Amino acid sequence: MRKVVFGGNWKMHGTWKQTEEYLQHFVNCPLPVNSEIILFVPFPYLSLMQKTLSGTQIRIGAQNMHSEDKGAFTGEVSADMLVDMGCTHVLIGHSERRSLFFEKGPFLNSKVKKALTKGLTPMYCIGETLAERESDKTVSVLQSQIREGLEGLSQDDIAKMYFAYEPVWAIGTGVNASEEDARSGIAVVREAIASMSSSSVSQSVPIVYGGSVKTGNIASYMAHKEVDGGLVGGASLKAEDFYLLIQAGMQGR
């Protein structure tokens, strides 16, 4: 049975004080033991996360990393730096990195490879834009993004990864993908993973759904066996909201 995963992507939100208050509340919540909870927080708060979350079941995630170990890359962070700060997971290929910072397949592939080499679990994000959806290109786009991201990886490497299907047209827009949109999109992703590895590997890796995920809709998404959890944006910014979402998702499961 695949692992159930909930990721909270704070993006560029929060203050030190807000993070302290969030963690004080969240670490005392009775989280489900048969799930993995990851907080993808801004870089400045990783040290606070490391200090506070040690010994808990909550995992620390970074929102980005560079593919090089060191060098003249102003503003970037390396995988080794993330490991030093207690990170176990890292987002790679989020649509905002693709669209705002023009990150493409080969560069993302190099990040995936570096993360795996350093013992980090990449959560590789894929998803189609509204224009691609309306042009009936969803399947080809998802297949291409998986192919580019997994190029040159062994089956063992791919088996260590997590994946997030986030249709770009549903991220932060308030427009909800239907349960069938989420299920069918993840099914395409899983088939594409199988083509780069094997059926057994593709059936073993967690694929979560992201895109305007809320407490009110997570259960209906997770009622489908293809959906292994959620990558949550705005609904993860308050500890009580994220906790209720996790509970609702597990009930749907």
For the segment 16-42, the average pLDDT, to the nearest whole number, is 96
For the segment 169-197, the average pLDDT, to the nearest whole number, is 93
**Confidence (pLDDT) at 173:** 77
Q: What is the mean pLDDT of the chain?
A: 97
**Confidence (pLDDT) at 176:** 82
More reliable by pLDDT, 223 or 174? 223
**Confidence (pLDDT) at 174:** 75
**Confidence (pLDDT) at 27:** 95
Three-state secondary structure string covering the chain? CCCEEEEEECCCCCCHHHHHHHHHHHCCCCCCCCEEEEEEECHHHHHHHHHHHCCCCEEEEECCCCCCCCCCCCCCCCHHHHHHCCCCEEEECCHHHHHHCCCCHHHHHHHHHHHHHCCCEEEEEECCCHHHHHCCCHHHHHHHHHHHHHCCCCHHHHCCCEEEECCHHHCCCCCCCCHHHHHHHHHHHHHHHHHHCCHHHHHHCCEEEECCCCCCCHHHHHCCCCCCEEEECHHHCCHHHHHHHHHHHHHHC
On the question of pLDDT at 172 being above 80, the answer is no
- Assign 152 a pLDDT band (cuts: 50, 70, 90): very high
**Confidence (pLDDT) at 253:** 86
On the question of pLDDT at 114 being above 80, the answer is yes
For the segment 167-180, the average pLDDT, to the nearest whole number, is 87
- Assign 33 a pLDDT band (cuts: 50, 70, 90): confident
- Assign 42 a pLDDT band (cuts: 50, 70, 90): very high
| pLDDT digits 0-9 by tens, 190-224 | 999 999 999 999 999 999 999 999 999 999 999 99
Q: All domains of the chain, ordered by start, with CATH? A: 4-252 (3.20.20.70)
- Assign 175 a pLDDT band (cuts: 50, 70, 90): confident
* Residues carrying an active site annotation: 94, 166
| pLDDT digits 0-9 by tens, 53-82 | 999 999 999 999 999 999 999 999 999 999
